[in-house]
Structures are given as C-alpha cells and as structure tokens.
Structure 1
Amino acid sequence: MHNNDDFGFLIQIINRQVFRFFSNAGKSIGISSMEVNILNYFFDNKKKQLYQIDLETAFNIRSSTATANVNLMEKKGLLKRIPDPQDMRRKLLVPTKKAFVLEKELNYFKQQLDFKISNNLSSSEQKELKKMLKKIIKNLKE
C-alpha cells in the first residue's frame, strides 16, 4: 500500500493530472497530449534549430518514441523535416503553418495549467517549487 506522502506517489498523481489536462486540451483541437508538448517545445524555442535528438533530450524519451511522434506529426501536417544546410545528413524539424495556427491556443492551455498549479502559491513559493522540481529532475537523471 502506498503512503500518500511518498514523493514518487505524489509526483505520479501530478503527472497523471497534467497528462489528463493536456490530453483534454489537445483533443479539443485535434492533437494528442504529446503533440501539445512537442509543439509547445518548438514555440518556446523558436530561435533554435531543433532536431529529433533535442526532443529525445527534452522529454527524456527513446529515439524510437521520438521517431514515432515525429512521423505522426509529419503525417498530420504539423511538422516537416528539412535537410540541415550545415550537414545534409541531419534533418531539422520545423513546425508547419498548420502548427503555428495552433500556437495561440496552446499558449492559452499552458497559461491555464500554470495558473491551476500556482493558484494558491505565493511568488516566493512558486520560485522555490520550480527550484526544487529542477533539483528532483537532476537527481533522477543521475
């Protein structure tokens, strides 16, 4: 039986709730929760050239999972692969016009979630929580 104060249990509950939120948000615009996350990642990193390896690193997913997601998003017309002018063996991932049409709604969903998470937290508690979450992520990578 789980103790409701275990870190792993609490984080698992939060993970499920965030997944459910983005799943429902994505359904409302015809995309999956992972596609919501990937597109948000692109929109947050507009000034960077992004490759599949960047998705693998950012989301801590296997190459095969990233490939499957990119292939599906390409089929849906949300992403395209283009040759990297610096290295023709590599492919840049670029959101399409169809993806950019969703940007405003995706930003709204992200703001909604941030509000739900931080609603009853002071500014200093929010900063401390972010700091602690980053430490936890680092600890789990080691």
Structure 2
Amino acid sequence: MGMPAAADAQPDFGRLIHALSHHLRRRSPVSEGGGELTHMQRHILFYILMESLNREIYQKDVEEEFHIRRSTATGMLQLMEKSGFITRESVPQDARLKKIVPTKKAGRFRTQVQANIARMEQKLADGIPPQDLDTCREVLLHMLGNLTQNERRTDNEQGGNDE
C-alpha cells in the first residue's frame, strides 16, 4: 500500500481510511469480551465503561458518539445485554427512557481495554510529529462532519430519518 505514483495525484481517502480500519480491527485482541463481542461492540463497551463513571449513558449517546442509526445501536446493545455486558434500567423521570449500565462482567475488561487502546494509539502516532497529529485529527473530524452532514441531508430528502 504505497502512495500514488504521480506527485499530483489526489489521495484516495476512503481507501486509506478503510485500510487503516482493517488493520486496527485485525490487531484488536479478541480476548476483550472473551470473543463474545465484535470490534464495534468492544468500542461501544469501552465508551460505556468510561463515560458511565461520570454520567448516565443512554442509547442516544451511543448513536451520536459512534454516528450510527437507532436500529444499529438497538441491535448491538441488545446483543451486549444478552451477553451480560450491560443492563438497561428505567429512570424515574421517564419510564420509556433506559440508562445503559455496565455489568461487573464488563467492568473486568476496563483495564485491559484501556491498555490495548493506549498501546494502539501509541503505535498509530509513532514517529509522527505532534503538530501533524493535530492536523490529521482536525482533517479527519472535518471529513466526518462532511459525511454526517451529507447523510442527514440524504435522510431528510428521502423522508426516512432513522435517528
């Protein structure tokens, strides 16, 4: 996977991001979640584990953090609940609203997940100057915003907003 041959060729961002994502998934240890969780579910579980230390977490938070549709979040959270990693508890102010609570089973993976993510982040940033990492982060966030904005516009035009 080299750079384009011509100096003036435009980079294929989608292909590069896909390749990077593929390598991250391949290097993600299966032992987190005992092989019961997918790569995405492990990321969601880590988010729930960390954020729930400071505030209540709801499905909408997961949808927004990971830019996924309600139906996708529902399916993943149901499987995580069935596997015993989370529970959903009603809140007093609105019985329809359910907060997501990590179980003790999930809590056992917190330290391992933190260490693995820190190791992967360090490997990703190896040899890259901090200012380049900052620029990369800004550009990736901008690209994500472009796609999110485009997705919302498309959903609204089709009349089917699943969020």
TM range (shorter): 0.7 to 0.9
Q: Which has the larger radius of gyration?
A: 2
1:66 maps to which of 62, 73, 80: 73
Higher helix share: 1
| Matched residue type, 2:14 | G
Alignment of 1:11 onto 2:17: yes
| Matched residue type, 2:42 | V
Moved over 3 A (4+): none
Partner residue, 2:106 = 99
Partner residue, 1:119 = 126
Q: Distance in 1 between matches of 2:12 and 2:25?
A: 20
* TM-score in terms of structure 1 length: 0.87
Residue 80 of structure 1: how far off its partner (Å)? 0.2
* TM-score in terms of structure 2 length: 0.77
Alignment of 1:128 onto 2:146: no
Residue 43 of structure 1: how far off its partner (Å)? 2.9
**Structure 1 portions without partners, runs of 5+:** none
Q: Distance in 1 between matches of 2:115 and 2:70?
A: 29
Q: Compare 90-99 and 53-62 and name the one that shifted more.
A: 53-62
| Matched residue type, 2:79 | L
**Structure 2 portions without partners, runs of 5+:** 5-10, 150-163
Q: Distance in 2 between matches of 1:16 and 1:85?
A: 42
Alignment of 1:43 onto 2:46: no
8 Å CA contact 2:85, 2:106 repeated in 1 = yes
Q: Distance in 2 between matches of 1:43 and 1:128?
A: 29
Alignment of 1:76 onto 2:76: no
Higher RCO structure, 1 or 2 (CA under 8 Å, sep 6+): 2
Q: Distance in 2 between matches of 1:40 and 1:64?
A: 20
Alpha-carbon displacement from aligned partner over 1:31-53 (angstroms, at most 9, x marks no partner): 32122101111133231211112
Q: Compare 122-131 and 95-104 and name the one that shifted more.
A: 122-131
Residue 100 of structure 1: how far off its partner (Å)? 0.8
